[in-house]
Chain A
Amino acid sequence: MKKYEKIYKELRKQYTDEEIAESMLIPQDLTAEEAKKANKELLAYRFKLLKEQTEEQRLHSELLRFKYLMEDYLKAQTFDESKTFGKHLAEYVMILKRTKKRLSEDLDIHYTRLSRIINDKEEPNIELIYRLEKHSANLIPALYWWKLVTKKQEHFIRQDTKTRQQEGAKVKNAVTLRA
């Protein structure tokens, strides 16, 4: 008897088909030739789907990829200069296949300001974050965009000993605590 067929028959004595499917994927026992044929069939479907993919479907897939990679970055411990809010916004523009001018109109912000944000010369405000959430059909949550900003700020605070010392020097009557 084939390998998986044997396991299936054993399980069937104890579980219903639904219970089996809810707890495992038992593959079909395919011969090398059958597997090759199955792969060829699937490949034909796969490329047919790609050929017929609409712009809306492309956009949906690309935005989800963008979102999941953003999630991975936000969950990682390290700050990356190439993954700032500005860099993400530049990638968003590319995914949409729109110009920066068009996006600035969509978001109702001045083109120069959008350019400055994309080039990391200015940080966005919360209002812009909400607009971006809405603009992405709520696919990219406002909080994700915002955390790109705070991740950069956190990195800056960790590194910035100079300003910390300068500002510390301006403080009078600091609270004193005995250890």
Chain B
Amino acid sequence: MNLIISKTREKLEGVTELIENVAEFQQIKKNKQFLFDWTKEQKNQVFKIRLEEQEEILGLISIIDFPTELRIHINLIEVAKSHRGKNKPILNIVGCLIAFTCKQAFRQKYDGFVSLVPKTQLIDYYQNSYGFILMGTQMAVYGETASSLIQKYIGDEEI
């Protein structure tokens, strides 16, 4: 994954893991790094992103699989408080989480189709930064654009 140290531009290896444990959701709730109540996302699939060999959670994503609609919907994303704002130490956390979801959507034969419904004020950002396009109220990314996001934020995995 292309997590980058903002000061040195050094690339860091990231790991994305499914949170399955109720106790971990409770720990996140108590963690002052996160604003949203992530226990409410337990009905969805919630993944955390962290650096390899480090336990600190950098960010969280909640996704919903819609197999009959051949898409994955991103319900919520949140980066830890210490990695927000203009002085954030690590770049690309949200990009890596979106690219991770696109990859999942390719695996599931959805053509990389990923949807989300951001607040109206933030639509332009998702359009310009990640290539999401408006499809009614929702926005989506798929195909070539989804593939480009994977290349940019994840690249070919070390195997």
Decide whether A and B assemble into one complex: yes
**A50 CB contacts on chain B under 8 angstroms:** 70, 111
Q: Which of B16-24, B48-56, B81-89 contacts A (4 or more CB under 8 A)?
A: B81-89
Known: A41-B138, A49-B142. A60 touches B147 (CB 8 A): yes
CA–CA, A64 to B156, complex, Å? 11
Q: What total count of A-B pairs have CB within 8 Å?
A: 140
Q: How many residues of A contact B (CB 8 A)?
A: 48
* A-side contacts of B108, CB under 8 Å: 65
Q: How far is the CA of A57 from the CA of B118 in the complex (A)?
A: 27
Inside 8 A of B93's CB, which chain A residues have their CB? 23
Q: Is residue B11 within 8 Å, beta carbon to beta carbon, of the partner chain?
A: no
Residues of B within 8 A of A30 (CB): 117, 137
Within 8 A of B (CB), among A37-89: 37-39, 41-46, 49-50, 53, 57, 60-61, 64-65, 68-69, 71-72, 74-75
Q: Find residues 76-117 in chain B having any chain A CB closer than 8 Å to their own CB.
A: 76-79, 83-86, 88, 93-94, 103, 106-109, 111-113, 115-117
Closest to B80 in A: A23
Q: Which one of A102-110, A141-149, A163-171 is at the interface?
A: A141-149
Task: Kindly provide the distance from the CB of B150 to the nearest chain A CB, expressed in whole angstroms.
Answer: 8
